[in-house]
Chains A and B, each alone.
Chain A
Amino acid sequence: MGGRTLFDKVWDAHVVEDLGDGEQLLHVDRHLLHELSGHRGQLEIARRGLKMRNPELALGTLDHVVSTAPGRRGAPFAERIVATFRAESAKAGLRVHDFGDDGQGIVHVVGPELGFTLPGVLLVCGDSHTCTHGALGALAWGIGTSELVHVLATQAIVQAKPRTMRVRFDGLPARGVGAKDMILALIGRLGTAGGVGYAVEYAGEAIRALAIEGRMTVCNLSIELGAKIGMVAPDRKTFDYVHGRTYAPAGALWDQALAHWRSLPSDADARFDAEHALDCSTLAPQVTWGTSPEDVIGVDGVVPDAKPEALEYMGLAKGRAIAGTKVDRVFIGSCTNARLPDLREAAGVARGRRVAPHVKAWVVPGSQRVKREAEAEGLDEVFRAAGFEWREPGCSMCVGANGELVEPKARCVSTSNRNFVGRQGPQARTHLASPATAAASAIAGEIADARRL
């Protein structure tokens, strides 16, 4: 028998029943809920007279519709959603990390941060960027409302086994180039449908060298590669990251867990259905020019002669350098890039500089804990002194579900993960980039290369 992949090992440990025809019923170890998809599922389960089966294996937080303005007065619709989520959660015995609590924030920041996400668990959430949690060696993917109801009622999910892909990031990126640039470059290469039907394992020297937060950035954009699942084999860094967190196992349970986690990395002779490699040593910081994450070039590059509709929407001319394009808004936040190292990276660029007068720049920490730790380091002061707005944790301008939008035709450099038409608001123009590039662009008032500031 050939070796097994990380994915195979975690998958196999969760099979409750083979349903035939390639589909299996899998046990869900961890279910994360946020107020927007969560409350819909809760109302539906109540309507059907069903009960949440295992509230102790689930966790809730607030992120999508809550205001991130200092003082946060939410819109009436948001207040209603949050109130419903609180009430239904209390009835079900679901623990919710509410305002004022370290665990309030973007689900994909909070899960790992609280030690709720663990290596080797199967985790789902009603949100497509659940692939983020694969960075710890969890098997994690996003689900729709009906599947969410299914998980609430049964603590299990039906799934057809995907094929496996391994992507090796070889070499080490140069200074000023990081996780966001690596994954954007990969999506540029393979396209947004490149990973359809696959569970992707990210490997190679550059992945090993990344901090856990950087690995989360990489795994976060798996869905933009078309893959529901992206994983990184757990290693020493992973175990150190998890150890001592709020919901992480302790004592004898920790030792048992650790023994299991050490057995998870893909065997040396494991076979993947597809393999790709990308050399990171020559990468430039990446920035998108179009309306799909695959429309990406180096920040020192030129707008290509492609996708005329996208260029028109973005208000860009082919053949012109992307750097120097005037920007109106900068958004540093989202489940892609709102963790402490991301904020440090941006603050490193912003320190001692000023945001261009015509730019409105926001920093939205991923969680209350991130916010607290950033403030303890004085990052909030660095940002404020430079003219950035320092806000409360939530999804904010990544999707604008709370009404925080980019104005029509305004151009925004954003550290989030989607630059779709209208994603940040009707007619808004989004350029995806790293925290360093976003901060540099805020300072320069135009798309800028942080290495040349």
Chain B
Amino acid sequence: MEKFTTLTAVAAPFPRKNVDTDTIIRIERCTGTPKEELGQYAFEMARKDPDFVLDQPRYRDAAILVCGEFFGTGSSREMAVWALAGIGIRCLIAPSFGQIFLANCFQNGLLPIVLPAAEVDALMRQAEDGRPFEIDLQRQTVNGTLGFEIGARRKRMLLEGLDEVGLTLALEPRIAAFQAADRERRPWVYAGVSNAHRRAE
């Protein structure tokens, strides 16, 4: 996974609330388009509007999106995050995010920052001015002074570009031990689908 340490970039203002992942990437693009090609379809329908923010020259190189409340609601499609990554977005700032979308961001080296609505509003105005933002993950700051929260583990994963599957595979003995003990406690779980019994009850 690509590391995230610091980022200095233009931020695009995207104040719309409740932007769902269907809007970020249409379902037709989720059924066959390779991950690397999804960027061209990000916000496909919204882009029919010639004034769409990401198509304005000053925001073409935006790597940050300042978003309205509850960005990324809806479908679990990770293609939404891949599409955003495909147009160069590395960081999103919003008062709240869809929970599955949030998890998907962390899996792909994108930094989602949750800030109180008033602070997001102030950043929205700064984004409208076109002044670049500075994000520092190590210090957990936006523009030097504005602090944000992030879990220590998620932070380390982003800073070092760690892959969660690799980390968990290193815990394989713990998983095996859990299953061994759990088989005693809850043997009915482990019957699984291996001994399906069709009974005439």
Binding site for B on A (CB under 8 A): 13, 16-17, 19-23, 25, 27, 29, 36-37, 48, 50, 54, 56-59, 65, 77-78, 80-81, 95, 116, 118, 120-121, 126-128, 141-147, 149-150, 153-156, 158, 160, 192-193, 196-197, 223, 226-228, 243-244, 246-247, 249-250, 253-254, 256-257, 260, 292, 399-401, 418, 420-423, 426
Q: How far is the CA of A196 from the CA of B72 in the complex (A)?
A: 12
Interface pick from B5-13, B51-59, B85-93, B181-189: B181-189
A181 CB to nearest B CB, Å? 22
Contact B30 A246 (CB under 8 A): no
Residues of B within 8 A of A146 (CB): 78, 104, 107-108, 164
Contact B191 A23 (CB under 8 A): no
Contact A56 B32 (CB under 8 A): no
A272 CB to nearest B CB, Å? 18
Which of B76, B98, B151, B188 is close to A257, meaning CB atoms less than 8 Å apart? B188
The total of interchain contacts (Cβ-Cβ below 8 angstroms) comes to 184
Residues of A within 8 A of B22 (CB): 399, 418, 420-423
Give the top 4 A-B pairs by smallest Cβ distance, nearest first. Answer: A146-B107, A144-B78, A249-B188, A144-B104
Q: How far is the CA of A150 from the CA of B166 in the complex (A)?
A: 9
Residues of B within 8 A of A250 (CB): 197, 199
Query: What is the interface residue range for chain B against chain A?
Result: 35 or more
Q: How far is the CA of A19 from the CA of B167 in the complex (A)?
A: 11
Residues of A within 8 A of B175 (CB): 16, 25, 27, 154-156
A127 CB to nearest B CB, Å? 6
Contact A154 B193 (CB under 8 A): no
Complex interface residues of chain B between 1 and 58 (CB less than 8 A to chain A) = 18, 20, 22-23, 26-28, 30-32, 45
Residues of B within 8 A of A56 (CB): 190, 192-194
Contact B103 A147 (CB under 8 A): yes
Contact A150 B104 (CB under 8 A): no
Residues of B within 8 A of A223 (CB): 74, 100
Contact A142 B69 (CB under 8 A): no
- In this complex, what residue of A is CB-closest to B26? A422
Residues of A within 8 A of B152 (CB): 20-21
Known: A142-B76, A144-B78. A420 touches B23 (CB 8 A): yes
Q: How far is the CA of A95 from the CA of B170 in the complex (A)?
A: 28
Q: How far is the CA of A284 from the CA of B70 in the complex (A)?
A: 28
Q: How far is the CA of A260 from the CA of B188 in the complex (A)?
A: 10
Residues of A within 8 A of B189 (CB): 29, 57, 118, 121
